């Protein structure tokens, strides 16, 4: 299969490494950028493990993987045909990353933000060519979950939408296009639900295990909201909830005390070894 895209992924955290794994598994070259070399080192180990997992789960085609380049310099993303921004859910961080990469890639290069809540039209003010900006909300793990939410901002160009749909097709993904709003559809529904589940535990009504068991057994949630929270990362959830609360005023989006306490204690979920549940971390 000829290579039709060269990806630059900004941010080597949980989502950035998952998206990189997805693209590499489908034979696309990826330049993974982060400001911290130690984070990139961990990302390389995680991608190797996740690539094996994707193969075992039948989530990657039987083709040669793409080439991975890791770097701390956004200038190394200059040859990308598509950029996917997956830095932390803080407006200042995202604005800086998008502005810097927009200055080095060729005009017409789609700039995709994997934001979970910040409106795309708000972010469009951070880049010089607003028609090139679009949102695509990959779920975690990106290399396993088939559906992707695509968010078209008011200023997003038709060519950008078409290029992103083509990329998702190459990556074997289904997609649904939605209009721009804080939290879009998935985060606006999921994140307040997780927040309420954590508040119920914090109030002493039920244990973590009981909440997840009831959501799975009675309401059909595939993993339970609190196990899902650990997979997303509690720090990411708190950042996203804060972004939603600031933009909507919805009290269900104000992070509950238990969620904030866990983040302050460093209990961030799977990536830290402890969140609502405890996990044995892979040796490194």
Please say whether the beta carbons of 137 and 115 come within 8 A: yes
DSSP β-bridge partners for residue 81: none
Strand ranges of the sheet holding 133-137, from the earlier edge strand across to the other edge: 68-71, 30-33, 7-10, 82-85, 111-113, 133-137, 147-152, 174-179
175 is catalytic: no
Please say whether the beta carbons of 72 and 33 come within 8 A: yes
Helix H or strand E encompassing 178: strand 174-179
Helix H or strand E encompassing 150: strand 147-152
- From CA 99, how far away is CA 96, in angstroms rounded? 5
Which residue among the candidates 5, 137, 191, 221 is catalytic per the annotation? 137
- At 176 the three-state DSSP class reads strand
Give me the phi and psi of 87, to 5 degrees please.
-80, 175
Within 13 Å, how many C-alpha atoms sit on residue 83's CB side?
Answer: 32
- At 174 the three-state DSSP class reads strand
| Residue 75 exposed, middle or buried by CB count within 10 Å (0-12, 13-18, 19+) | exposed
Residue 218, number of CB atoms within 10 A of its CB: 8
Whose tokens are 């080597």? That residue is 12
Helix H or strand E encompassing 40: helix 37-56
- From CA 63, how far away is CA 24, in angstroms rounded? 10
Active site residues: 137
């Amino acid at each position: 299969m000829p290579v039709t895209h060269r990806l630059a992924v900004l941010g080597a955290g949980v989502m950035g490494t998952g998206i990189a794994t997805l693209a590499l598994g489908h034979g696309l070259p990826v330049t993974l950028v982060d400001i911290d070399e130690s984070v990139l080192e961990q990302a390389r180990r995680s991608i190797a493990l996740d690539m094996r997992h994707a193969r075992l789960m039948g989530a990657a085609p039987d083709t040669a993987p793409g080439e991975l380049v890791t770097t701390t310099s956004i200038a190394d993303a200059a040859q990308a045909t598509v950029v996917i921004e997956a830095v932390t859910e803080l407006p200042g961080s995202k604005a800086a990353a998008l502005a810097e990469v927009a200055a080095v890639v060729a005009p017409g290069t789609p700039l995709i933000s994997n934001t979970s809540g910040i409106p795309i039209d708000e972010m469009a003010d951070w880049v010089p060519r607003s028609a090139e900006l679009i949102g695509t909300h990959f779920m975690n793990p990106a290399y396993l979950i088939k559906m992707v939410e695509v968010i078209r901002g008011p200023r997003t160009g038709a060519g950008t939408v078409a290029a992103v749909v083509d990329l998702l097709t190459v990556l074997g993904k289904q997609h649904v296009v939605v209009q721009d709003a804080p939290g879009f559809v998935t985060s606006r529904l999921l994140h307040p639900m997780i927040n309420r589940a954590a508040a119920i535990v914090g109030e002493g009504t039920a244990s973590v295990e009981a909440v997840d068991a009831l959501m799975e057994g009675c309401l059909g949630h595939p993993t339970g909201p609190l196990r899902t929270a650990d997979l997303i990362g509690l720090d990411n959830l708190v950042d996203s909830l804060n972004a939603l609360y600031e933009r909507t005023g919805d009290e269900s989006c104000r992070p509950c005390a238990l969620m904030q306490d866990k983040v302050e204690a460093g209990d961030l979920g799977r990536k830290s070894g402890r969140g609502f549940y405890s996990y044995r971390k892979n040796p490194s």
